Amino acid sequence: GENVEQHPSTLSVQEGDSAVIKCTYSDSASNYFPWYKQELGKRPQLIIDIRSNVGEKKDQRIAVTLNKTAKHFSLHITETQPEDSAVYFCAASYNNDMRFGAGTRLTVKP
Amino acid sequence: DAGITQSPRYKITETGRQVTLMCHQTWSHSYMFWYRQDLGHGLRLIYYSAAADITDKGEVPDGYVVSRSKTENFPLTLESATRSQTSVYFCASSRVSGSDTGELFFGEGSRLTVL
């Protein structure tokens, strides 16, 4: 089955700086790559996603890039704010079998 | 709009006991999922279901049983609970159909402790 690796496991940035989280996947059949944000004690919620026919997608301060050849994708958050502090999960999916990375705990220092 | 709800939210049980976690969604979503969340492992897929009476194993199905007699319900049963099944369990649903994949909507989670 699909295996998703996520790095780094923890990331600390100063408010206003950018944050980058990287993921790799193993199954070349995977065609959907979402990113979820989970605040402490809450449920995961989708923040952005990308499909395999697209190389990059942006939504205000967040962007995701996908390199199908290398089987890796990344989340970029610009102008980070304290409310961006959370755990972020990447995932890869084919035919609704969705597998998640282990998560990155992002801390934004004011 | 209740969305997707899980019960119980918290459960303490003993090794060897049977436990059922309930999941109910009001959106008539076709797909439903069960994940467990453990520190250092992220979210691991236990089982998922494409529709009533259709279920598939995920990454970590051993020790779990699921059923889906109605579209809106997807209970997860631990037939003989073990300490290693202590975890937070998340149910999720997705409105996609067929082989398409889309956003998962998660329930609030059920925290299970096996003593």
**pLDDT tens readout for residues B59-86:** 999 999 999 999 999 999 999 999 999 9
Is some CB atom of chain B closer than 8 A to the CB atom of A57?
A: no
Is residue B71 helix, strand or coil?
A: coil
Q: How confident is the model at residue B40 (pLDDT cuts 50, 70, 90)?
A: confident
- Classify the C-alpha dihedral A89-A94-A95-A97 as positive or negative: negative
In this prediction, residues B6-11 reach a mean pLDDT of: 98
State the Cα–Cα distance between residues A45 and A39, nearest whole angstrom. Answer: 9
Q: Which residue of chain A is at minimal alpha-carbon distance from B42?
A: A102
A90 contacts on B by Cβ (under 8 Å): none
**pLDDT value, residue B2:** 66
Percent of the residues in chain A that have a pLDDT greater than 70, as a whole number: 100
Q: Is the pLDDT of residue A95 over 90?
A: no
pLDDT at A105: 97
∠ CA B28-A87-B19, rounded to 5°: 50
Sign of CA dihedral B45, B49, A71, A86: negative
CA A105 to chain centre: 11
DSSP string for A24-58: EES-TT--EEEEEEE-TTS--EEEEEEETT-SEEE
CA-CA distance, A82 to A51, in Å (whole number)?
Answer: 29
Query: What are the b/e assignments for B20-57, b being 16+ CB within 10 Å?
Result: ebbbbbeeebbbbbbbbbeeeebbbbbbbbbebeebee
Of B66, B95, B108, B82, nearest in space to A96 by CA: B95
Nearest-CA distance A44 → chain B (Å): 7
Q: What sign does the CA torsion over B68, A96, A36, A28 have?
A: positive
Supply the pLDDT for residue A84.
98
Give me the residue from A43, A93, A102 closest to B109, CB to CB: A43
* A67 at interface of B, judged by CB pairs closer than 8 A: no
B96 vs B35, which has greater pLDDT? B35
Q: What integer pLDDT is reported at residue B102 of this predicted model?
A: 86
